Chain A
Amino acid sequence: MLELADVHTYYGNIRALRGVSLGVSTSEIVTLIGANGAGKTTTLRTILGTVRPRRGTVSFDGHRLDTLATDRIVRLGIAQSPEGRRIFPRMTVLENLELGAFARADRAAIAPDLERVLTLFPRLRERTAQKGGTLSGGEQQMLAIGRALMARPTLLLLDEPSMGLSPILVDTIFQIIRDINRQGTTILLVEQNARMALRVAHRGYVIQTGRIVLQDAAAELLRSDVVRRSYLGEK
């Protein structure tokens, strides 16, 4: 479904991705784990076209993404919950969620999706009329994920969805990730919480200084020595 082939992305002269190749098949959950600065967020940005690769190709369902404008990429059915939330602070929670559905053609299906998001995050239902910027950090995280879900994407990109959430909500978020995947959404998940990510994912990639250094079934990666020592914090 999604295919990155030998992608090199630069910020000025700094090489952020040095030949990343990865694939996500329909209805999979794939996780990308790695240290801070390894290139995880850059990979997501390259997919969405907010930075452009200098070399290599990104394709999605037969479309070349690396030359397509970001809004067109979103219209192909890719949505993102970005790192650092990036919600619209001066718009209400409800308006934020409605904007998530901005590019959709199936107007009639939006209302039930809104209901679904508000059921997933009861906290957001309590605050629909509140301005996004007045939410707490964790609530903003929920809103960012909810907004991405409102696009009813075929491919959902999640950048650190568990960041800043309480333990009970971290569990809930991963449960939600599993649920929306069962309902047919393909997910590419970037996470610092490698243990949880590998438990929920089918397959995983390990990225280090801009290169994919390991790829395997998630269960295998959980057992791998390298992953355990570098990313799970085990001695």
Chain B
Amino acid sequence: MTGPGVRAAALVAALLAYPFVDKALGFQTVHAVSDGMIYVLLALGLNIVVGYAGLLDLGYAAFFAIGAYAMGLLNSPVLGSPLYGHAWSFWLCIWLAAAMSALLGVVIGAPTLRVRGDYLAIITLGFGEIIPVAIRNLGDITVDIGGWRPIERLNLTGGENGVNPIGRPYLPGVPFETDPVPWYFLILIIGAASLWSMNRLRDSRLGRAWMAIREDETAADCTGVNPISTKLLAFALGASFSGFAGSVYAAKLQAITPGAFEFQVSIMLLCMVVLGGAGSLKGVILGGMLITVFDRVVLTQTTFMVRAAGRAAGVAALTTADLTLWRWFFFGLGLVLVMLLRPEGLAGRRLRPVAVGVDDAEDPMVLEPPPPPRAEAIPRWLRDRAPRGAAADPRVPILEVRGVVKQFGGVVALNEVDLLVPHGAIIGLIGPNGAGKTTFFNVVTGLIRPDGGRIALVGASLAGLRPNAIVALGVARTFQSIRLFPQMTVLENVLVGGHCRLAATVAGAVLRPPAVRAEESRARARAHELLAFTGLGDKADELARNLPYGDQRRLEIARALATEPRLLLLDEPTAGMNPRETEALTELIGLLRRELSLSVLLIEHDMEVVMRISDRITVLDYGTRIAEGTPAEIQRHPKVIEAYLGTGGEQDLAARDRSR
């Protein structure tokens, strides 16, 4: 058996043996540890929302409350549940509670989808406050409409008194009533199953989509990830885990009151996630266990010791000291220390410094140029996809833009712009800075809604479509200021590109039926091929942020190709590249068009590149098209020379031509 295997076996053995050892030694910590595991499960659910999807949720205890009260409502004699007293009802109720929490997750998530960061945190804070207040006030509901009372004195939540008792689980021969050990194992099983499914979710199409949203929502949207459904799913799944936790908690405790779900609980859960390391399952478990063990075991035990010491020394103040009242002081202090000393959390992914292309070998004086792209290296599957564009009538242009108008305030960013990209063509889009070129890209990719005009992809209108839907139709783009997913690996970046061509659902991602396994391994193989083709083959496991600049540009193109585009929009792809890198990239673009009949719309300021590979060029100035024509025509166009090229640029080009 290997090292990790031995460690895992030892961990399982320790977890199994723990309650019996505890009993034999008379520690009586099983209760506290079981409660701790419930909080760990809650923290793991919160980790999906905060750690994976990057949505700061300050009111997560609301879902915990819904889970607990769902159990109370469905399985307590106080509220008159018809399910109460049935042997199977606990086992049914935990699923119903999870479903109700997930539903609430969607209800709470929906209005917060358009906000991020501070605003989202404030809204979730509001929900976190609303839920306990609602629970307090739903203990005695009377609806009076002019004397007619359809609902009279309905007790939905038990009000301030809470719910007590709540039906325990029933298994033949298992003493849930008297012994904490079965609870320990029940929670251990639920926790292990949750952990197992979260682990699988993280390494799936959905987990990658969450992380992509966390890293850069706009870039994710333009890579084919639907941010709305992805975020809702994070909210719903995160909530469903806390539904499990809440319902088990309610049945174990036998009594729930609104006070158990206050703001402090949300904050404590957030502390667990942040302390351990957001996004790391191991870290969150560690953070959760540390905080609960500290709270439930260390603080009480130390209090006893301090009191004993006080009695022995005859200090009255110490004999009545209660360290548990200082709990928040210690939490706060611990969090401050961790943030100062290890801001990524106890077990978070250590932020590696930005790598610079340095090695210890003696450097050759003349730098080797990056390897030229080779036609043979084009992945076969990408070739097989190529006819997708060609299958349509070649006379229908890939992209047809007519009279597009966009205004920002009083500024006309795009003024009746027409542009045509024929099948398999490379079209240059040039113009002075601020002429509206990037705005044009944003309109075509759906990031900005135009005020007027028509945009059609192979004859079909793109009006009103979300960016991710436009990607799915075959339009991919890169960004002027590189927008990768910096904290994800190079391979993961490309895999996110494949998101819209994969189909795995939540159930598929967790259970991994053969179809999902095949899909996933195919996606990985294809991503590796794309990386090899773009010259990044040996960097698959690097974090994207650690790549040198030129590699980041190429990775953006690889990610765009992974979406299987028919039309590629490149926004200044050679900016910041030296002449050699520029040349290699120019070759690559030409190759994609030649071999795959990929159509390209190119914003570029390097005139050598634009003039060499464009079939036709459109020139924008102040949002208006001032010229359209072949490179030769554009180079001589007086308006273009005046507004854009300048006479110096012309001389410079001439000088370059001479030096060749």
Which B159-182 residues have C-beta < 8 A from chain A?
A: none
A229 to B364, CA, bound (A): 12
The reply to whether B358 and A166 form a contact with Cβ atoms under 8 Å apart is no
Q: A142-B433, A230-B367 are in contact. Are A137 and B355 (CB under 8 A)?
A: no
Q: Does A15 contact B (CB under 8 A)?
A: yes
The reply to whether B357 and A213 form a contact with Cβ atoms under 8 Å apart is no
Which B434-474 residues have C-beta < 8 A from chain A?
A: 434-435, 437-438
A111 to B431, CA, bound (A): 32
Most buried by A among B358, B363, B549, B646: B358
With A37-B550, A137-B480, A163-B575 already in contact, 7 other A-B pairs whose C-beta atoms are closer than 8 Å: A14-B355, A37-B548, A134-B408, A166-B433, A171-B652, A213-B363, A234-B659
Q: Does A170 contact B (CB under 8 A)?
A: yes
The reply to whether B605 and A165 form a contact with Cβ atoms under 8 Å apart is yes
Q: A36-B577, A168-B432, A233-B579 are in contact. Are A137 and B572 (CB under 8 A)?
A: yes
The reply to whether B644 and A167 form a contact with Cβ atoms under 8 Å apart is yes
Q: A36-B578, A194-B578 are in contact. Are A141 and B433 (CB under 8 A)?
A: yes
A166 to B606, CA, bound (A): 8
Question: Which one, A69-77, A177-185, A204-212, is touching chain B?
Answer: A204-212
Instruction: Choose one: B354, B357, B434, B659; the contact of A38 (CB below 8 Å).
Output: B357
Q: Does A6 contact B (CB under 8 A)?
A: no
Q: List 21 A-B contacts (CB under 8 A).
A: A12-B353, A14-B353, A14-B356, A36-B357, A37-B356, A39-B358, A42-B356, A137-B433, A138-B432, A138-B434, A139-B433, A141-B433, A142-B433, A163-B576, A167-B649, A168-B646, A194-B578, A208-B367, A213-B363, A230-B365, A231-B579
Q: Mark A22-65, 1 if CB is under 8 A from B, else 0.
A: 00000000000001111100100000000000000000000000
CB distance from A71 to the nearest CB of B (A): 22
Question: Which one, B89-97, B534-542, B580-588, is touching chain A?
Answer: B580-588
Q: Does B149 contact A (CB under 8 A)?
A: no
CB distance from B431 to the nearest CB of A (A): 7
Q: Is the interface of B mostly helix, strand, loop or mixed?
A: loop
A14 to B353, CA, bound (A): 8
A39 to B548, CA, bound (A): 11
Which A190-235 residues have C-beta < 8 A from chain B?
A: 192, 194-196, 208-211, 213, 226, 229-235
A194 to B358, CA, bound (A): 21
Which B328-387 residues have C-beta < 8 A from chain A?
A: 352-359, 363, 365-367
Q: A136-B433, A137-B433 are in contact. Are A164 and B649 (CB under 8 A)?
A: no
CB distance from B16 to the nearest CB of A (A): 41
Contacts of A136 in B (CB 8 A): 433-435, 437-438
User: Which B residue sits closest to A225, measured CB to CB?
Assistant: B366
Contacts of B359 in A (CB 8 A): 209
Q: Does A66 contact B (CB under 8 A)?
A: no
- Total CB contacts across the A-B interface at under 8 A: 136
The reply to whether A167 and B646 form a contact with Cβ atoms under 8 Å apart is yes
The reply to whether B582 and A11 form a contact with Cβ atoms under 8 Å apart is no
The reply to whether B644 and A209 form a contact with Cβ atoms under 8 Å apart is no
CB distance from B589 to the nearest CB of A (A): 16
CB distance from A31 to the nearest CB of B (A): 14
A192 to B572, CA, bound (A): 14
CB distance from A51 to the nearest CB of B (A): 10
The reply to whether A234 and B358 form a contact with Cβ atoms under 8 Å apart is no
User: Which A residue sits closest to B435, measured CB to CB?
Assistant: A136
A10 to B648, CA, bound (A): 40
A178 to B516, CA, bound (A): 61
Q: Does B607 contact A (CB under 8 A)?
A: yes
**How big is chain B's contact interface, by range?**
35 or more
User: Which A residue sits closest to B645, measured CB to CB?
Assistant: A167
Contacts of B357 in A (CB 8 A): 35-38, 209
Q: Mark B544-587, 1 if CB is under 8 A from A, else 0.
A: 00001110000000000000000000001001111111110000
Contacts of A163 in B (CB 8 A): 575-576
Contacts of B572 in A (CB 8 A): 137, 164
Q: A36-B581, A233-B583 are in contact. Are A164 and B433 (CB under 8 A)?
A: yes
Instruction: Choose one: B363, B433, B576, B579; the contact of A138 (CB below 8 Å).
Output: B433
Residue ranges of A at the interface with B (Cβ–Cβ < 8 Å) = 11-12, 14-16, 18, 35-39, 42, 84, 123, 134-139, 141-142, 160, 163-172, 192, 194-196, 208-211, 213, 226, 229-235
The reply to whether A15 and B433 form a contact with Cβ atoms under 8 Å apart is no
Contacts of A35 in B (CB 8 A): 357, 367, 578, 581
CB distance from A162 to the nearest CB of B (A): 9
The reply to whether A169 and B433 form a contact with Cβ atoms under 8 Å apart is yes
Which B478-496 residues have C-beta < 8 A from chain A?
A: 480-481
A230 to B329, CA, bound (A): 60
A233 to B572, CA, bound (A): 19
Q: Does B151 contact A (CB under 8 A)?
A: no
Contacts of B115 in A (CB 8 A): none
Q: Does B518 contact A (CB under 8 A)?
A: no
Contacts of A210 in B (CB 8 A): 356, 358
Contacts of B363 in A (CB 8 A): 208-209, 211, 213
Contacts of B353 in A (CB 8 A): 11-12, 14
Q: A136-B434, A211-B363 are in contact. Are A14 and B580 (CB under 8 A)?
A: no
The reply to whether A233 and B580 form a contact with Cβ atoms under 8 Å apart is yes
CB distance from A167 to the nearest CB of B (A): 3
Q: Does B612 contact A (CB under 8 A)?
A: no
Contacts of A170 in B (CB 8 A): 605, 649
User: Which A residue sits closest to B649, measured CB to CB?
Assistant: A167
CB distance from B650 to the nearest CB of A (A): 9
The reply to whether B356 and A11 form a contact with Cβ atoms under 8 Å apart is yes
Contacts of B431 in A (CB 8 A): 166
Contacts of B652 in A (CB 8 A): 167, 171, 195-196
Contacts of B577 in A (CB 8 A): 36, 192
Kindly list the 3 A-B residue pairs having the minimum CB-CB distance in the complex, ordered from nearest.
A138-B433, A233-B579, A168-B646
CB distance from B167 to the nearest CB of A (A): 55
A208 to B367, CA, bound (A): 9
Q: Does B660 contact A (CB under 8 A)?
A: yes
Instruction: Choose one: B365, B438, B646; the contact of A137 (CB below 8 Å).
Output: B438
Q: Does B8 contact A (CB under 8 A)?
A: no
A137 to B483, CA, bound (A): 14
A214 to B189, CA, bound (A): 66
A169 to B433, CA, bound (A): 8
Contacts of A171 in B (CB 8 A): 646, 648-649, 652
Q: Does B643 contact A (CB under 8 A)?
A: yes
A194 to B367, CA, bound (A): 15
Contacts of B644 in A (CB 8 A): 166-168
